[in-house]
Amino acid sequence: MILHLSVFGLVSFAGKTTEISMNSYKEDQQFIKAAIDQANIALENGDVPIGAVIVHQNKIIAKGYNQRHKLNDPTAHAEIIAITAAAEYIGNWRLHGCTIYVTLEPCPMCAGALVLARIDRLVYGCDDPKAGAVKSLYNIVQDTRLNHRLEVTNGILADECSAILTDFFKKKRNSTDNDF
């Protein structure tokens, strides 16, 4: 049930390939770029550069970036911060009608939070082979045993999202401050 984007503007959904509109793809790119801007804030703060934005009615209503090191809080992931801000903005913990855009495939904690927040759609940049809970290791957001499932589109600006993380960890490995 994950939508896999190809270079031809096609998506695979439940084994069927269909064409997506160029407007939808361009909107996804626009909002992933906004998530990348959030990731760059995390980078400037010395945290793992992951960013997220939540969109409702084609408008960004919440933003988040990783702040685990800044806040000394293991739950301060970009998605969690954005979900909290979106719930405050809407005035309800149920985020129906919302799409979250994230630079990296969500971890198990964040994937669970997306389900609990009843977000309709997840769009993310690059896969996370070590902790991904949407495609790589698990598929929490589409688990039929849960009471809510999300539509998923992955691979939007994947190379750009991946490069930010690769560069960050390469620099960390080469520095004396490598407590990640």
What is the full DSSP assignment across 96-118? TTEEEEEEE---HHHHHHHHHTT
Q: How many CB atoms lie within 10 A of CB 180?
A: 12
What percent of the chain clears pLDDT 70, i.e. is strictly above it? 86
In the residue annotation, 79 being an active-site residue is answered as yes
- At 23 the pLDDT is 76
pLDDT at 18 over 60: no
Any idea what the Cα angle at residue 161 is, between residues 31 and 123, rounded to 5°?
45
Residue 133 has pLDDT above 90, yes or no: yes
Q: Write out pLDDT tens, residues 39-88.
A: 999 999 999 999 999 999 999 999 999 999 999 999 999 999 999 999 99
Question: Exactly one of 27, 79, 88, 160 is catalytic; which is it?
Answer: 79
